[in-house]
Amino acid sequence: MALIRRQFLSRAALATSALGAPVFANAQSARFNWKMTSAYGKGSPFYMDGPGSATDLAKRIREMSDGRLNIQVFGAGELIPAFEGFDAVRAGTVEMNHANSYFWTGKTFAAQYFTAVPFGLNFQGMNGWLYDGGGQELWNEVYAPFGMVAMPCGNTGVQMTGWFKKEIKSVADFKGLKMRIPGLAGKVYANLGVDVKVLPGGEIFPALERGVIDAAEFVGPFQDRRLGLQKAAKFYYTTGWHESSTVSELLINKAAWDKLPKDLQAIVSNAAAACNVISEGWCQKANSEAMEDLVKNQGVTARPLPDDVIKALRAETEKVLAEAVKDPLTKKVHDSYFAFKAKYDRWSEISEEAYHLKVRG
C-alpha cells in the first residue's frame, strides 16, 4: 500500500509541476467558474433575490459542490441587456441565463409552452408535464438546434391579469389600449385591438405613470406592488387566464453542460428543482399578504374580468394556437402539452379543484 501511495503522490506532484494544475486534478476536483445572466434587475425579489431566486440557486450549487461550481450572477443590464440571455448563452458568452422561455418566441415559437400557455396548466399540472409527462425532453429538443438545454427553476403560480387605468366592462374596451404584456397572451390581446408592448420589469412603472401605456401586467400582488403599479392604475384584474403558472427557465449552454462531471450536473438539476418548489411557496406567502395590503390600505379595486371578456379571450386564444401549430415543432409540443392537460384536468377536477370548491369551505 505504502509503495502504491508513494507512486501516486509522486505522479500527482509531477502533474502539478508540469501543468501548474492543482494536485489530484481530475474530473471530481476540477473547478468551474460560470456566469449567469438574468432578464430581471439586480435585487428583484423572486427572480434575483430571496428563496428560490437566481442568487439562491447559485448559492445552493456552490454549497452542494463545495465551491467546485461557482456561478457569478448578473442582473439585467449588468453584463447584457434584459432580453439578450438567449443569444449570450447560445454564443457561450455566459454559461447560463435565468429568465422565462416565452421571451424567446421570436427565436423558436415552441419556447412559449415551457413558460405558460393561456388557459393552460397550473403549477402542479405544469410540474407533472415537465418532469414526468415529456415536457422536459421536448424543451431540450426545441433548444437542440441552438446548442442549449434548459430546465425549470422557479414558478410564480397564478399571475394577475394586471393593471388598467380604466374599467374593462367588455372586450371592446381593449381596443386601442397600449398594454405591456409578453408572450402568447400578447398575441391574443393584439388580435382584440390592443397595442402590445414588451417592456422589462423595471420600465413598466414609468411607462404606465406617464401614459406611454394604459395597462400592464407583470406578475402578481407582491411584485406589482414593489414596482408601484398601484400608484399608476387603480383597476387590478385578477383573472390569471394568460399565465396560470409561469415557469422560470434555467437556460444552459450545452457544450458547457457536457463538460460538467455527472455529479455537478446532478447538483445543478437538483438545486433547480428545489428552487422551482421553494420559489413558488414563497410567492404564495408574499402574494397573500400583498393582496390584502393593496385592497385594504392602498385603495386598489381587485376583481376578476367579466365572464364575457374571459369567453372572448378564450376564443381568441384558440385561434392563436390554431395558427401557431402550423409550425411542426410547435405542434409536437402543443400536442404533448394538451394531451397531458386533458388527463390532468379530469383528475384535478375530482381532486384539487373538488377540494377547493366543495371541501375546504
Chain residues binding Ca ion by CB under 5 A are 159
Distance CA 284, CA 318 (A): 29
Q: Which is nearer to Ca ion, 148 or 185 (CB)?
A: 185
Q: Which is nearer to Ca ion, 122 or 159 (CB)?
A: 159
Per the CB < 8 A criterion, the answer to whether 315 and 188 are in contact is no
Q: Which is nearer to Ca ion, 159 or 276 (CB)?
A: 159
Show the cell assigned to 163: 393593471
- Backbone phi, then psi, for 174, in 5-degree steps? -75, -25
| Nearest distance from C-beta of residue 40 to Ca ion, angstroms | 12
203 C-beta neighbours (distance < 10 Å), count: 18
E-strand spans in 190-246? 195-197, 215-216, 235-237
| Nearest distance from C-beta of residue 102 to Ca ion, angstroms | 9
Return the biggest CA–CA distance within the chain. Answer: 86
Q: Which is nearer to Ca ion, 244 or 253 (CB)?
A: 244
| Nearest distance from C-beta of residue 170 to Ca ion, angstroms | 23
Q: Which is nearer to Ca ion, 47 or 129 (CB)?
A: 47
- Quick one: which of 286, 157, 40 has its CA closest to 49? 40
| Nearest distance from C-beta of residue 159 to Ca ion, angstroms | 5
Taking CB positions, which residue lies at the least distance from Ca ion? 159
Q: Which is nearer to Ca ion, 76 or 260 (CB)?
A: 76
Per the CB < 8 A criterion, the answer to whether 309 and 237 are in contact is no
Helix, strand, coil percentages, rounded to 5, for the chain: 55, 15, 30
- Backbone phi, then psi, for 235, in 5-degree steps? -90, 115
| Nearest distance from C-beta of residue 178 to Ca ion, angstroms | 17
| Nearest distance from C-beta of residue 224 to Ca ion, angstroms | 10
